[in-house]
Amino acid sequence: MMDRELYVRSNRRKDMEEMVDIHTWRLDEKTLKSTIGKNLVLLSNSKEATAGVISLKPKQRVPEKGFSSHDAVEICLLLKGTVVLNTEHNRKIAVEGDMAYIPRSTPHFTLNESAEEEAKIFWVLAPAVKLQD
């Protein structure tokens, strides 16, 4: 198994260019806890995809206002909790274990409606997209 530290912490372009086969890395509980309220980008120097994990605090909305839209399809897997996925014309509730597909350039936002429980989402954007901080 590949050491997660190589891609999560250093995320060096040279390391990504050397990825010519299947690689794996493990997200430990300490790393996942560090994502509370924010994004942890796991894969960002690839041309094929951008991927990461986000943990939403209770009642947190991402983005805080308006909608997010990417020049990529987005696939999400809800790892923990319940969230509401919203577009301009649709609202879907996703629970732990659900996957969601958001078409390219679709304005959307995600809301953790729980007053007590955080939600964790693994997400992939394809093709790769440079995210704003």
CATH number of the domain that residue 56 is part of: 2.60.120.10
pLDDT tens, residue by residue, 27-49: 777 777 777 777 777 777 678 88
Summarize pLDDT for 59-108 with one digit per residue, the tens. Answer: 999 999 999 998 999 999 999 999 999 999 999 999 999 999 999 999 99
In a domain, 131, yes or no: no
Query: Quick check: is 46 in a domain?
Result: yes
Q: Is the pTM of this model over 0.85?
A: no
Please check whether residue 92 lies inside any domain of the structure: yes
Segments forming the whole domain that contains residue 62: 35-126
Q: Is residue 96 part of a domain?
A: yes
3-class DSSP assignment, residue 10: helix
Lowest mean pLDDT among 16-20, 53-57, 63-67, 107-111: 16-20
- 20: in domain: no
- Residues ≥6 apart with Cβ < 8 Å to 6: 15, 25
Q: What is the total count of domains within the chain?
A: 1
